[in-house]
Amino acid sequence: MSMPNDKDKYLKKVIKYIKFPFDRKEIYEELNNHIDDRINELYKDGLSIEMATNKSIEMMGDAKKVGLELNKMHNPFLGWIWKISDFGVKFFGVIVCLIFILNIITSIDLGNPIKDIPKEDIIYHLKVNEKAKIDSRVINIKDILYDNKGILHIRYITYNSNLLVNNAWNFSNLGDITDEFGKKYYGGSSSSSGIISHHYIQLDGFNPNSSKLNIVYNQYNRQFEFHFDLQEGAKYE
């Protein structure tokens, strides 16, 4: 007496021999379809469902033999390597996407602290767009602003001109910042790094009479220089 659960019993016995668990379901389904097709055909030929099922299972051959042969083709070692590397690739892809999105968000979100300075506090604001390049990294000075508290604000961005090269230059330090009297200024800086890194420096106690700003970078055998005329806002606007 053969019933549909005999088929299930047979299939379960086959997949019992498959050591790599992730392939079991697919094998079960493939063989199940095959047996169903055979049952259908034998049934059409006039056999009862029971007899057709019985015959179909018998035609498949010994469950242990089939299972052992199939197991040889489903090497658990290779299967696991494949599974892990497949997961690794997907995981890596998601992480890369997340980093990329975060980069964009922080690039936008950090915004422009210069804009937060009230208009009435501004003594002068130079909108400059001066660029220098170290290796493939571009340093682009955007704003120089002097306020009535004696603070000189410098905003600049840095980015890679070649997207494929991720170079380690950060440039949260612009080098020596001096005025025409040779006074060196040190200030607090903040940066956000991303595809485009945003940088912001505040120099306290900047001499209100200074009319020149010199930025000279000379580190690791790499140089750039910027020279700005201050208090001549019109020149850059």
Partner 1 sequence: MKIDKNLIGGSAILLVLTLLNEKDMYGYQIIKEIEERSDSTFQFKEGSLYPVLHKLKNNGYVKSYTAKGDTGKNRKYYQITLVGQKHLKAQEEQWKLFSVSVNKVLGGSAHVYAQ
**Which residue carries 């890679």 as its tokens?**
160
User: Residues binding partner 1: what is the number (CB under 8 A)?
Assistant: 23
Least distance (Å) from partner 1 to the CB of residue 26? 7
Q: Which of 2, 17, 24, 31 touches partner 1 (CB under 8 A)?
A: 31
* Contact call for residue 86 and partner 1 (CB under 8 A): no
Query: What does residue 99 show for φ and ψ, rounded to 5 degrees?
Result: -60, -40
List the interface residues with partner 1, window 9-28 (CB under 8 A).
Answer: 14, 26-27
* Contact call for residue 105 and partner 1 (CB under 8 A): no
Least distance (Å) from partner 1 to the CB of residue 44? 13
137-147 β-sheet, strand order: 122-134, 137-147, 152-160, 196-203, 187-192
Least distance (Å) from partner 1 to the CB of residue 46? 18
Least distance (Å) from partner 1 to the CB of residue 161? 42
Of 186, 226, 228, the C-alpha closest to 210 is 228
**Rounded (10°) CA dihedral 177, 183, 186, 187:** -90
Neighbours of 126 (CB within 10 A): 23
Contact 88, 96 (CB under 8 A): no
Closer Cβ to partner 1, 38 or 155, answer by number:
38
Tokens at 109, concatenated? 């979100």
List the interface residues with partner 1, window 48-67 (CB under 8 A).
Answer: 59-63, 65-66
Cα–Cα distance for residue pair 144/26, rounded to 1 Å? 66
Cα 36 to chain centroid distance, Å, stands at 47
Tokens at 190, concatenated? 């903040």
Q: Which of 8, 9, 37, 150 touches partner 1 (CB under 8 A)?
A: 37
* Contact call for residue 183 and partner 1 (CB under 8 A): no
* Contact call for residue 69 and partner 1 (CB under 8 A): yes
Catalog residues that contact partner 1 under the rule CB under 8 A. Answer: 14, 26-27, 29-31, 33-34, 36-38, 59-63, 65-66, 69-70, 72-74
